[in-house]
Structure 1
Amino acid sequence: MPSIQELFHSPLRIVRAGAKVLLAGLLLVTLTSGVVLAASSNGNQTTPKGITLQLAPTSRSVTQGTSASYNVVVQPSGGFAGNVALTISGLPAGATASFSPAVVAVGPGSGSATLNVSSTSATPLGTYSLSLKGSSGTLQSAVVVISLTVTAGQHQPFNISGDPTGLLAPGNAVPINLQLTNPGNSSLNVTGLTVSIAGVTRTAQAVANNRPCNPSDYVVIQFSGSYPIAAPPGNSSLSGSGIPAARWPQVRMLDTSLNQDGCKGATVQLSYSGTGQGN
């Protein structure tokens, strides 16, 4: 029985080096080494729509009670065009953030916004990682992390002053409406208000007649209100803070069995102290 020659068919058509043959939508390219590669006849690839956030700088440092700003650039890709809402998370206690504008219009080019982060005198010290992202409908950007470091501010001294609101007489007390002057840019929490008698200045006539008057002729009744007392930047007072006069510190002239004529017309010098935290 005569033999029948078997036929074998290669899955790829053999072509000569450098030749190109179009088969079933595939472009066959034979390299000079004899390797045959297959590639799509359509070389275009579609880039998906997306948005990317870029921030500068990526880290800032602020003192308590101050703010820092970052520049945010929203870059579209894949032909995206629309409004992108910006959000932030990871803020420390007492800090707030705002974007200007809060919604950025992009496409075909990029858009930009300014991120402002404000701290307060109560914001804890430390370094914080803040996470930012942009969204437009169901489309969201990758999260971008930036750094914020909060440091202690320069504590500026505040001043306390005040005068008795009336004339002193034996057995009589007069209240002192303390005045607080805060030179800082954020509110102070004031505690430990103390009034002391620093000295007594007699009239010339009392001195000439050798009539004594001493700090021991007076006594101070200290502030009895609750703490802390808020002292905003600038000038404030106990009365302006809504504290009744009955809670103010008072100076009382003692009524003793000794001759106190030397205290008539005398001037009592007072000194003040207290503690302020926050500026």
Structure 2
Amino acid sequence: MPRIPELFRSPIRTVRAGAKVLLAGLLLVTLTSGVVLAANSNGTQNPPKGITLQLAPTNRTAVQGTSASYNVVVQPSGGFTGNVSLSATGLPAGATASFSPAVVATGPGSGSATLDVSTTSATPLGTYSLSLKGSSGTLQSAVVVVSLTVTAGQHQPFTISGGPTGVLAPGYGVPIDLQLANPGNSSLNVTGLTVSVTGVTRTAQAMANNRPCNPSDYAVTQFSGSYPIAAPPGNSSLSGNGIPAAQWPQIKMLNSSLNQDGCKGATLQLSYSGTGQGN
């Protein structure tokens, strides 16, 4: 039986070729999520524009009534250029923050500024977290947190002075407007004021006539107003605090036959005491 020749079958080849689409020097890379990102011709993606803040140091300490400074570096990314406004939140009561400059120009390189945080004598003691950020239009940096610790000031001893505001006469009291000198950098709350007579210098005539006069010839009525009394840095007084003269300490020459001539025109040496506590 004759053989039937086989039909010649040409193999079929399936060819799959990857297509590349060029657009203005960029490749369109399709992700499985369907989002299309721009990439360089070498396949790397362009980073988004952004702002980063860097602060040094990250923690500072300030005595009440003083300030603390931080260095701020504004670093652009993704080709961002523009002006960046700086802000700070989380300040303790009585404290203020200022940036110099307040607006930092960036791009293509970084820009810098100084943050000064000023406290007052009334700023509460403690450690606080300050949150800083930069913004340019709708673009904002991530928040950077630094700490500020407020400590009590070193109070130097304050002094008290003052004398009778009028001429002493037997049987009459004369008020003493006490003067408070606070050399520290923060206010003091003064309590426990006392005045006492520690010495008497008689006139030459009283001494020549042997007329006696002693501290026991005087009586002192102590301060009768409310405590504490504010003593801000520098000089202050009872009258400057709005305290009426009727509440000031008073000194009186006793009315006796022995001191009528001996204490007339005498000069008194007074001593003072009191307690001052910082805010």
Aligned-residue identity in percent:
81
Which residue pairs with 1:33 in the alignment? none
- Distance in 2, matches of 1:187 and 1:223, equals 20
Which residue pairs with 1:267 in the alignment? 267
Contact (CA 8 Å) 1:25, 1:41: kept in 2 or not? Answer: no
| TM-score computed with the length of structure 1 as normaliser | 0.79
Contact (CA 8 Å) 2:186, 2:233: kept in 1 or not? Answer: yes
Deviations 1:51-93 (A, max 9, x none): 0101111121222221111111111111222222212122223
After superposition, the Cα gap between the structure-2 partners of 1:128 and 1:71, relative to the gap in structure 1 and judged at 3 Å, is same
Instruction: Say if 2:150 is the partner of 1:150.
Output: yes
Contact (CA 8 Å) 2:64, 2:150: kept in 1 or not? Answer: yes
Please give the residue correspondences for 1:192-271 in structure 2 after superposition, counting only pairs within 5 Å: 192-207=192-207, 209-256=209-256, 260-271=260-271
Which residue pairs with 1:131 in the alignment? 131
- SS of 1:240 mapped into structure 2: helix
Deviates more, 1:196-205 or 1:87-96: 196-205
- Distance in 1, matches of 2:131 and 2:14, equals 61
Please give the residue correspondences for 1:14-53 in structure 2 after superposition, counting only pairs within 5 Å: 23-25=18-20, 42-53=42-53
- Distance in 1, matches of 2:92 and 2:183, equals 26
Please give the residue correspondences for 1:54-73 in structure 2 after superposition, counting only pairs within 5 Å: 54-73=54-73
Instruction: Say if 2:115 is the partner of 1:115.
Output: yes
Q: Give ranges in structure 2 of 5+ residues lacking alignment.
A: 1-5, 22-26, 28-38
Deviations 1:122-181 (A, max 9, x none): 333332222211122221111111122222221101111111122111111111122221
Contact (CA 8 Å) 2:220, 2:250: kept in 1 or not? Answer: yes
- SS of 1:275 mapped into structure 2: strand
- SS of 2:216 mapped into structure 1: helix
Deviation at 1:40, TM superposition (A): 9.1
Deviation at 1:205, TM superposition (A): 4.7
Contact (CA 8 Å) 1:64, 1:122: kept in 2 or not? Answer: yes
Deviates more, 1:208-217 or 1:165-174: 208-217
How many residue pairs end up in the alignment? 257
- Distance in 1, matches of 2:163 and 2:250, equals 10
Deviation at 1:120, TM superposition (A): 2.2
Deviates more, 1:82-91 or 1:197-206: 197-206
**Equivalent AA in structure 2 for residue 25 of structure 1:** K
| TM-score computed with the length of structure 2 as normaliser | 0.79
- SS of 2:251 mapped into structure 1: strand
Instruction: Say if 2:90 is the partner of 1:90.
Output: yes
Deviation at 1:41, TM superposition (A): 6.0
Deviations 1:85-134 (A, max 9, x none): 21212222332222122222222222221111122223333322222111
Deviates more, 1:88-97 or 1:250-259: 250-259
After superposition, the Cα gap between the structure-2 partners of 1:6 and 1:192, relative to the gap in structure 1 and judged at 3 Å, is farther
Deviations 1:3-30 (A, max 9, x none): 989967475x6xxxxxxxxx21189xxx
Deviations 1:208-247 (A, max 9, x none): 5554333232222222334433333222223333333333
Deviates more, 1:40-49 or 1:65-74: 40-49
After superposition, the Cα gap between the structure-2 partners of 1:61 and 1:156, relative to the gap in structure 1 and judged at 3 Å, is same
Deviates more, 1:221-230 or 1:79-88: 221-230
- Distance in 2, matches of 1:95 and 1:194, equals 36
Deviates more, 1:43-52 or 1:146-155: 146-155
RMSD between aligned residues: 3.0
Deviation at 1:48, TM superposition (A): 0.6
